[in-house]
Amino acid sequence: MNAKIIGTGWQLPAYAADNDYLSTIMDTSDEWIAERTGIRKRYLAKKETTTSLATGAAQKALEASGLQPEQIDLLIVATITSDTETPSTACRVQAELGAVNAVAFDINAACSGFLYALHTADAFIKSGIYKNVLLIGAETLSKLVDWTDRSTCVLFGDGAGAAVLTATEKGGVTAQVTGCDGSRWEVLSCRGRSNHNPVCREESELGYLQMNGQEVFKFAVKTVPLCIEDVLKKADLSAEEVTWFLLHQANKRIIQSVAKRLRQPEEKFPMNIDQCANTSAASLPILLAQMNEQGKLHSGDRLILSGFGAGLTWGACVVEW
Ligand code: ACO
């Protein structure tokens, strides 16, 4: 049995901040941001939370799938910005949806989170333990970035995307590759709470996202093509046989470089980074759901989903639509 995607949905906050707005509150410009990254605007949560965005995307995906909330066996939220340290966002979304029969937990694999969640869901479906799975990538990165650090805060946005999966005999997710190099965790990280226990009493400082942008760039342009080649080999496919390459929306130049390395036309690499910026674990499911909504995905299409992020983590999978 494979996991097949039978419904998708996406949700963004109501408020959009364009590059010109950011240039009124910090020393930056539309030209700098757009040229280096392809980003023109990002959505920022005002009243929305990770839970509310996740729930909104999930409701749309469920509706499109034709399944009822009670039919979901497993609910996974990929996020690094849970509203509560505990319980997980997945538990709160389970309650919001009334998915009363679902086991629910979060996965923290940063921008690779949705791919890690997809791999996990596929394994549970293959083993026969669960049949119907709801996967959500949801983030409010705007609360994790340092708004005084122009080199990171302009890159990220908030949002959520979701997909409902069910067991299928043919097609669906046909190959997966995921990886991690924990020795390079400091390239991109966000410190957690410090320890206040009576024998430790660490200095307390708020942790914000810190990134060595150039190291992440080099890592991405090297690792993403390699893991796509790996997953193509596993699926016994050539790059030419792939209809769409959906890549994590972190930087337009990274996506263009991957297209070049794979010797594939850029038109096969859809992008929404200009509109949404980098929404971490939400980026792939938002792009997938938007393409599905626009009628760009057809039965028999072969999709590659691939991403990279903090950890360092990476992954790719082949989906037969
Ligand atoms: N506006 C204007 N100037 C800026 C800004 C800004 N927002 N940010 C930095 N600068 C300045 C710097 O201060 C520096 O100035 P200096 O030359 O006077 O010192 C100059 O611009 C160049 O800075 P660099 O950091 O060298 O810029 P670079 O060309 O490397 O681009 C960027 C930076 C866009 C972050 C690039 O390195 C990148 O995209 N890296 C990959 C990042 C990424 O993909 N992250 C997310 C992946 S993981 C995840 O998704 C969680």
Please state the rounded mean pLDDT for residues 105-111.
Answer: 97
Per-residue pLDDT at 196: 80
- For residue 178, the cross-strand partners are 315
Which of 217, 223, 306 gets mutated to test ligand 1 (max ligand atoms within 8 A of its CB)?
217
Report how far ligand 1's centroid is from the alpha carbon of 213 (Å). 6
| pLDDT tens digit sequence for 203-224 | 766 789 999 999 999 999 999 9
Per-residue pLDDT at 198: 84
Average pLDDT score over the chain? 96
Per-residue pLDDT at 204: 67
The question of whether 108 is a catalytic residue gets the answer no
- pLDDT tops 70 at residue 16: yes
Q: Which residue has the tokens 């069910």?
A: 166
Report how far ligand 1's centroid is from the alpha carbon of 224 (Å). 20
DSSP annotation string for 152-194: HHTTB-EEEEEEEEEEESSSEEEEEEEEE-GGGGGGEEE--PP
Report how far ligand 1's centroid is from the alpha carbon of 112 (Å). 21
* Beta strands 244-247; 302-309: pairing state: parallel
Looking from the CA of residue 278, the nearest atom of ligand 1 is 50
| pLDDT tens digit sequence for 131-163 | 999 999 999 999 999 999 999 999 999 999 999
The pTM score is 0.96
Name the residue at shortest CA distance from atom 44 of ligand 1.
250
> How far out from the chain centre does Cα 258 lie?
18
What does each C-alpha distance from 202 to 71, 214, 302 come to in angstroms?
A: 46, 31, 51
**Upper half-sphere CA count for residue 147 (Cβ side, 13 Å):** 9
Looking from the CA of residue 154, the nearest atom of ligand 1 is 7
- Residues 6 or more apart whose CB falls under 8 angstroms from that of 200 comprise none
| pLDDT tens digit sequence for 115-139 | 999 999 999 999 999 999 999 999 9
